[in-house]
Amino acid sequence: MDIKQKNYTDNTILITFLLSLSYAILRYHIAGDVPWKDFPFFILNKAISLTAFILLTINFSIGPLKNLGIKVSDGWMNSRQALGMTSFLFVLIHVLISFMLFKPEIYKQFFEENGSLTLYAGLSMLGGILAFVVLWVYNSAFKTDLKEDKTFIQFITSRKFLLIVMLFSLMHLFFMGFKGWLNPSEWHGGLPPISLVAFTFFAIGYIINLFGRK
């Protein structure tokens, strides 16, 4: 097979998901006290969200890394579109599951006594919703007549636009979990929360895009 036809999409997605799932099981079930009955929905959702953020980071960073002078193979360059579409699907699944789980009985730290959202929960949800909507527009544009609009495509693939999208995602992760990040003594088995792991990956990706995206 010609190297230009090669891509690493399947292996990247599979390995990323398996590592994310293994980490979620280790932290919450084995090192933590989350019952196994919560695996099919609660824990799986955490693995899906971590997978989504890692894949998004990889997808957004391949081009900028090459611009920074780092050798990036054609296989990785050819993987960008599939990785982007797959990461959006993971994000969509995460959003749907999270809306079903997001209630005071499960996430009491995000709700006031009167049932309203706390300030940090509201900021996290705002960042998450804005990031999801913009990602949806970004992915949909290439599958509709909008792909013929060169001005629009240049805008949604521009450095400024993508940096704003990534900021919304970082905002969602930060306000969702930063309080727990500040108490390492309460981490299950000393393992960082998944929100912190995802934030770290995405923050590195943001820095790469900040300096490497044209």
User: For each of the chain's 214 residues, which pLDDT tens digit applies?
Assistant: 444 467 899 999 999 999 999 999 999 999 999 999 999 999 999 999 999 999 999 999 999 999 999 999 999 999 998 999 999 999 999 999 999 999 999 899 999 999 899 999 999 999 999 999 988 888 887 776 666 777 877 888 788 888 998 999 999 999 999 999 999 999 999 999 999 999 999 999 999 999 999 8
CB-count exposure of residue 167 (10 Å: 0-12, 13-18, 19+) = middle
pLDDT of residue 5: 63
Cα separation, 193 vs 180, whole angstroms: 7
Cα separation, 151 vs 130, whole angstroms: 22
3-state secondary structure of 164: helix
Please check whether residue 120 is in contact with residue 179, taking contact to mean a CB–CB distance below 8 angstroms.
yes
Cα separation, 138 vs 213, whole angstroms: 17
pTM over 0.75: yes
CA distance readout (Å), 179 to 25, 59, 97, 152, 166 = 22, 29, 23, 39, 21
Cα separation, 209 vs 58, whole angstroms: 11
3-state per-residue secondary structure call for 5-29 = HCCCHHHHHHHHHHHHHHHHHHHHH
Could you give the domains of the chain? 3-212 (1.20.120)
Look at the block and give the residue holding tokens 């900028």. Answer: 64
- Structure tokens given for 39: 């695996």
Return all residues near 41 (Cβ < 8 A) that are at least 6 apart.
Answer: 97, 100, 101
